[in-house]
Each structure stands twice: as C-alpha cells, then as structure tokens.
Amino acid sequence: MMIPRFVTAVAALVLLVVACAGPAAEAPSGSQVVAELADYKITVNVPSVKAGSIKIGVRNLGTMEHSFQVIKTDLAPDKLPTDGASAKAKEDGKVGEIASIPAGKSAAVTLDLAPGKYVFICNVAGHYQLGMHTGFTVDAP
C-alpha cells in the first residue's frame, strides 16, 4: 500500500521540522526592555523604564510573522482607533518600530523615549484586534 506509507513519511517529516525549529532566539544583548510576542499577545519584562535612550529587544515566540510598534499615547492599550479597511490600528504617536520579525527570531530597536505613557502593539493586519497590545510607562529621568 503506497498511500499509507507516503502519509507516514510526510508525518515523520513534519515532526522533524517541528523538532528542528528549536527555541526562539534570545533577545539581542544589551536590551534594557525585552518584549515577547506570542500569537496574539505581547508581554514585557518590566512595566516601566526611566526616560532616555532605550534598547528594546523583541522576541517572536509565535508561529507566524509579527511586527512591533511603539506608540506614545494616553489611550488605553486596547482603545487605539482602528481602520476597518486595513484591519490595522492607527499609528498616531508612533516613535519607532520593527516592521517585521519572522517566527522564532528576535530583533531590537533603540529609541530615545520621553517620559509618558506608551502602547506596544503588533500591527500585522488583525493582530492588534486579537490582543497584541500592552501598556508601558516611561518615567522622568
């Protein structure tokens, strides 16, 4: 029987690929803030930092590409306006971003952050609405 054998081989190959994927890359060294992206949430290792030049390392622990936008806003993390046509959040107040982080990879962005309230989001279409947002605070130095 050729078909069952073929199916078994494909199943074995899939297992091999999953096993080789391994853990997601560590955050780049020197990151003062580490954000972890999952399918569909964002967690940050610290709730706040003091203002200044801040290196934010971002790990994509999800199974798909994500992005990372830093938006300075007083709005609640889940209350950013969205655009129905693009299924993305509006990025008013954006101070920096990493446009694309493949699954299992990490990246970093260094930003000069002024004191205030921020929201970190993933703005791949639909991901913000699915929960990829979290609040962050930058304190006066």
Q: How far is the CB of 122 from Cu ion (least distance, A)?
A: 3
Q: Which residue has the tokens 């798909």?
A: 64
Residue 15 or 125: which CB sits closer to Cu ion? 125
Distances from the Cα of 112 to the Cαs of 16, 30, 49, in angstroms? 43, 15, 12
From CA 31, how far away is CA 48, in angstroms rounded? 14
Q: How far is the CB of 12 from Cu ion (least distance, A)?
A: 31
From CA 112, how far away is CA 29, in angstroms rounded? 18
Q: Which of 70, 98, 111, 122 binds Cu ion (CB under 5 A)?
A: 122
88 binds Cu ion (CB under 5 A): no
SS3 71: strand
124 binds Cu ion (CB under 5 A): yes
Q: Which of 59, 88, 127, 133 binds Cu ion (CB under 5 A)?
A: 127
56 binds Cu ion (CB under 5 A): no
59 binds Cu ion (CB under 5 A): no
State which amino acid sits at residue 85.
A
Residue 78 or 115: which CB sits closer to Cu ion? 78
CA-closest candidate to residue 109, choices 55, 32, 51 = 55
66 binds Cu ion (CB under 5 A): yes
Binding site for Cu ion (CB under 5 A): 66, 122, 124, 127, 132
